[in-house]
Amino acid sequence: MREPRRGLAETLSHIDSLLGDGRSREDVLDVGRLSLDSGVPREVVEALLEGGEPPAEDITDRIVRRFGHLRETRLRPDGSRHSYEEIAAAFGASRASLSNLVNSRRRTAGRGAEQRPGRSGGPLASTQAGIEKFYFGQPNGWLSAEPETALDDALQPVLRGLEEQAADPMARLRHAHGLRRLAARAPQLAEEEIQLVTDWIDTILERRRAQGAHDAQGAHDAQGAHDAQGAQGAQGAPGQGVRGRGVQRAREQGAPTPGADAPPRDVR
């Protein structure tokens, strides 16, 4: 069995190595989903993904908290929580056994400190196993697992998905480019040919992205020049006053231009 912290680090390292295509962890890891699946609080998931350590937590507090997490997030079809009676009856226990788990606190004989039971044998262990089985087959030990182990387990579906993509040359086309028709024709292509097609599409898409950025900049520059020219034209030609604009309107309406039919002056 792997040491929890080392196991989580190895899984994250493996995920990082499979990302490629300029992707980051944020592209494939949903913190909310990981928290839901692992029973680890969201802020603790974020800290663990950054290489931090989880806060100290008593094992019984962890069991009780995750039991509450299951009741709040794995609901009946009508949206209500499963009752203690319903859960206990599913594995032949009583409601009291669940109450004892939730409220379990023992005082060590002769000492003032509280002693809380872990996953030792006996009724407590069987109660935990029954709860885990009731809630859609949670793996044995889910309630009491260390945060690193719980998160590591929740990351495994993500890791398997990335491994499948890496093993399947068409996965990049399906996931990155959505080329379903080409993916459907994959059996007709050799693996080397599929890889060539994938690289070719990557190159074309990169060129189109670069061209799109260039065209957008050109359009922006052209619009700026057009706006500047329009603003200059709106000011009118130099020397054109109110009378000039009146003459222009008169010409357009067919009216005689003031001064056009006046007799020539005698210059003698």
- pLDDT tens-place values along the chain, 268 residues long: 568 899 999 999 999 999 876 788 999 999 999 999 999 999 999 999 999 999 999 988 999 999 999 999 999 999 999 999 999 999 999 998 888 888 764 433 333 444 444 444 444 788 888 999 998 778 889 999 999 999 999 999 999 999 988 876 666 555 555 554 455 455 566 667 767 777 777 787 678 778 877 777 777 777 766 666 766 655 554 444 444 555 455 555 555 555 555 455 554 4
Full DSSP string of the chain:
---HHHHHHHHHHHHHHHH-TT--HHHH--HHHHHHHH---HHHHHHHHTT--PPP--HHHHHHHHHHHHHHHS--TTSPPPPHHHHHHHTT--HHHHHHHHT--EEPTT-SSEE---S-SSHHHHHHHHHHHHTT-PPTTTTT--HHHHHHHHHHHHHHHHHHHHH-TTHHIIIII--HHHHHTGGGS-HHHHHHHHHHHHHHHHHHHHHHHHHHHHHHHHHHHHHHHHHHHHT--TT--HHHHHHHHHHHHTPPPTTSSPPPPP--
